[in-house]
Copies of this chain bind each other. A is one copy, B any other.
Amino acid sequence: MTTQNILLTGFEPFEQEPLNPSWEAVRALEGWQCQGAQVVARQLPCVFGKALEVLDQMLTEFKPALVICVGQAGGRSQLSLERVAINVDDARIADNAGRQPIDQPIYNDGPAAYFSTLPIKSMVKAMRAAGIPAEVSQTAGTFVCNHVFYGLLHQLTQHTPAIRGGFIHIPYIPSQAARHPGQPSLALDTVIEGLRTAIQSAMTLQQDVVEGGGQLH
């Protein structure tokens, strides 16, 4: 019997950062076993379009039982379980290939949005119980992270709707915040522990809990 794969992706650095904590955290979990499945950690380019081509190949190659894409959210203070991916690219800065699309749909024939199919409320609950700062987030932005999140759900919905997928944003790590005075950060170990807890929840729970995680606005 083959072991199931859990596909975990992080991004290459962008916006002049020397590293991307999403990749540093994800690579540390390569090979980690959870509920009889094993983590395959891979890096995505921070490039519109290209990131989705690479992700699609990974989906084909690894036939994962679970997919979690992780990205850096400089300025946030907690692990953010993204609730919804929207069908638009609106780039405040250029991506790593110099592209800066504005108000372009990701898939012309795609719906306006997809909801994460991860049990995000349970994941937040489990992380908080483990002492790890976490929240549900109502927006993944409109840059490459949202682009990948939307593209992932578009692929899964069309081809393997039973496979759960979603996106987690993580803060800067301290060495980045030391160069961006005032910005919050989390130690890489805390992030890695958070991702472990999140994966554990997603692999064991059939249904999400009903717990508030909304915003007034």
Contacts and interface: CB of A to CB of B under 8 A. Distances in A.
A190 B171 CA distance: 15
A160 interface: no
Interface in A86-108: 86, 88-93, 100, 102-103
Number of chain A interface residues as a range: 35 or more
A5 interface: no
B92 A215 contact: yes
Contact of A91 (B121, B140, B189, B214): B214
Interface stretch (A27-35, A53-61, A110-118): A110-118
A178 interface: yes
A85 to B, nearest CB: 9
A210 interface: yes
B77 A133 contact: no
Contacts of A77: 77, 177, 182-185
Classify the secondary structure of A's interface with B: loop
Contacts of A190: 174, 187
Interface stretch (A36-44, A141-149, A198-206): A141-149
A122 B69 CA distance: 33
Stoichiometry, as copies per complex, reads: 4
A66 interface: no
Nearest to A103: B210
A113 to B, nearest CB: 3
Interface string A152-182: 0000000000000000010000110111011
Given A78-B177, A80-B217, 20 more contacts: A75-B217, A76-B217, A77-B177, A77-B184, A89-B214, A90-B213, A103-B208, A112-B112, A127-B178, A128-B179, A133-B174, A133-B177, A133-B185, A138-B141, A141-B215, A142-B215, A143-B214, A143-B215, A184-B185, A189-B189
25 contacts: A15-B216, A72-B217, A73-B216, A77-B77, A77-B183, A86-B138, A88-B115, A88-B214, A89-B214, A92-B216, A102-B211, A102-B212, A112-B112, A112-B113, A113-B113, A133-B174, A134-B178, A135-B181, A141-B217, A142-B215, A143-B215, A145-B217, A174-B190, A186-B187, A187-B187
